[in-house]
Chains A and B, each alone.
Chain A
Amino acid sequence: MTKLLRYFIITGIILSLSACDIAPLKKRDGSSAGSDQQNQYSTDGDSTGKYSSGAELSVESLNDPNSPLSQRIIYFDLDSSQVKENDRNIITTHAEFLVAHPDISIVLEGHADERGSREYNIALGEKRAKAVKQLMTLQGVADSQIQVISFGEERPVALGHDESAWSLNRRVEILYTGY
């Protein structure tokens, strides 16, 4: 009985210790946490050469086309507001940058393709933008740094009427206020 109890206590301690290990990943201070994530994501393969944590990027890099921060569009599948696995590192980079620069704020602009109901598409655009926002706030970005707006299908970037255009229009744009 006591043996079993001790077993549970020890397991509990180990579990809470590992929880502590994970926690800094989500916190603002952990620069090592940032590079951990970088290692994790750089294997995904679509980084632009030398990848650095968003936390280490300067404000100037916002205007640098070679900066990972220049990737500012997240694309979505039909009917879906689920962020694709491949796009999570883009969001993470921006989140890290925003955590390191709490005075900078962004607008997440949600969009949908032209098909179906306009009002549903406005709601879907908002849901997509909020899905991106949630991933950012989970990584420590302050709620006040992110504004969400949806244009639904009203502002397409591609004007065609087939899947190649529609897939470009189902998107969330990350817009840096004042940059």
Chain B
Amino acid sequence: MLKKSLLIIFSWLLAQSAAQAILTIEITQGAEGAQPIAIVPFAWKGKGERPLSLKSIIAADLQRSGQFAPLAERDLISKPHSGSEVKYKTWRALNVGYLVVGSITRLQDDSFQVQFQLLDVFKGRQLAGYSIRSLNSGLRRTAHHISDIIYKTITGEEGAFNTHIAYITITRGKDNKKRYRLAIADADGYNEKIIFSSDKPLMSPSWSPDGTRLAYVSFSHGRPEIFVQNIFSAKREKLVSFKGLNNAPRWSPDGKYLAMTLSRDGNPEIYIMNVNSRKLTRITRSYAIDTEPEWLPNSEGLIFTSDRGGTPQLYEIPLRYYRASGRAKRITFEGNYNARASVSPDGRYIAMINRTQGRFRIAVLERESGLFNILTRGKLDESPSFAPNGRMIIYATEERYRGVLAAVSVDGRARQRLSFNKGDVREPVWSPFTMNK
């Protein structure tokens, strides 16, 4: 019997924040051909109150990926808690390919042992079995970790369930004044933590590739400036504050540079700053607006938005040693507006805002083939950001004129909406994988 043991102790270092936003996730379209999987509620082996339901978290994760169709609990024909109790024949009759069983044991007051097994129903054998130690406060993360293991075992690809999203929320206080918050949450919207809050606009968060820092634009001094903040220590530093625009920061894949937009030399141009030395290198030179730089893998180039041809379009400029090494060339030609690029981590796709017939939607360009696909169905969709496994794109949209978040798979087959119970939510950015390593 294949059995690995993992010892994972998650500790959430951030200070607990106040009022939690309540988030609901609605699957607006499941994918055709999603694989049926049965997840049995985990057995509770301990005294006292049963901790939260791992089964519900795992089932929701797998369903959101668009690649799995978890069985409803009422359709479970029996509720085994370990592989040895499973009668494969009866599950085969349900045409369910995979079965997840497990248990939770209390070790001490605040820690648990979680065991689970992933079973292949048709082959009648175990595909994966783990025993994970978890603190009470880390149980949600353990559930996401189990989802990742299931996802990878079956699909062969990395899951992105144990990652985070950063976003901006806007609420109105009793005095009707706007309150802007930079927040992070688990990829399923739970465990919201406020990173920074201001009565002046906040925008354009960008994760450092190690997942420990966020760069963002704050108007807290009355004009746009770029700040970098450690999400654990809350240490905040003003990085860039030239005359004019200090906008659109994006971290290089190696974390040593920030690409950004500055208008200190007249009009908005793309620059690259060495984060340690603060040395600036100018990348673009045009009389038009150049903004929203986004890195290609290995820092081999930048994608950016420019209206040098009339309306905004995406351009690509090659880089060598963090300097421009060739001319910028236009890469989008569909519709009269393409902006705000997000490059998939493998560099295969570019997601963007596309305007066609007055509707702003999220589109994706496959770089090698040039195939262009409009993925979303809104009118004011914006701010696409790839999941670190490249399978999903999270973006901002509106629902009855309120800003909400939504996600769509790169093939457009799976869709979901994440709405908070208060205020507007915008500019979601998906974290890299490495946050908890």
Contacts and interface: CB of A to CB of B under 8 A. Distances in A.
Interface in A148-163: 148-151, 154-155, 161
B380 A119 contact: no
Contacts of A148: 244
Interface string B308-342: 00011000000000000000000000000101100
A96 interface: no
B353 A117 contact: yes
Interface on chain A toward B: helix, strand, loop, or mixed SS? mixed
A119 B314 CA distance: 13
A154 B203 contact: yes
Interface in B256-282: 261, 263, 267-268
Contacts of B149: none
Contacts of A117: 292, 305, 312, 339-340, 353, 382-383
Interface string B212-225: 00000001001110
Given A126-B245, A155-B201, A120 B427 contact: no
Nearest to A79: B311
Contact of B291 (A115, A123, A130): A123
A126 B244 CA distance: 8
Contact of B203 (A118, A126, A149): A118
A79 B340 CA distance: 16
Residue of A79, A116, A126, A161 with most chain B CB atoms under a 10 A cut-off: A116
Interface residues on A, range: 20 to 34
B409 interface: no
B248 interface: yes
A122 interface: yes
Given A120-B312, A123-B247, A123-B289, A161 B204 contact: no
Contact of A149 (B223, B291, B312, B339): B223
B219 to A, nearest CB: 7
Interface in A78-97: 79
18 contacts: A79-B311, A114-B380, A115-B355, A115-B360, A116-B339, A116-B355, A117-B312, A120-B289, A120-B305, A122-B203, A122-B245, A122-B291, A123-B268, A126-B245, A126-B263, A149-B222, A150-B224, A161-B398
Interface of B: 201, 203-204, 219, 222-224, 244-245, 247-248, 261, 263, 267-268, 289, 291-292, 305, 307, 311-312, 337, 339-340, 353, 355, 360, 380, 382-383, 398, 401, 426-427
Interface of A: 79, 114-120, 122-124, 126-127, 130, 148-151, 154-155, 161
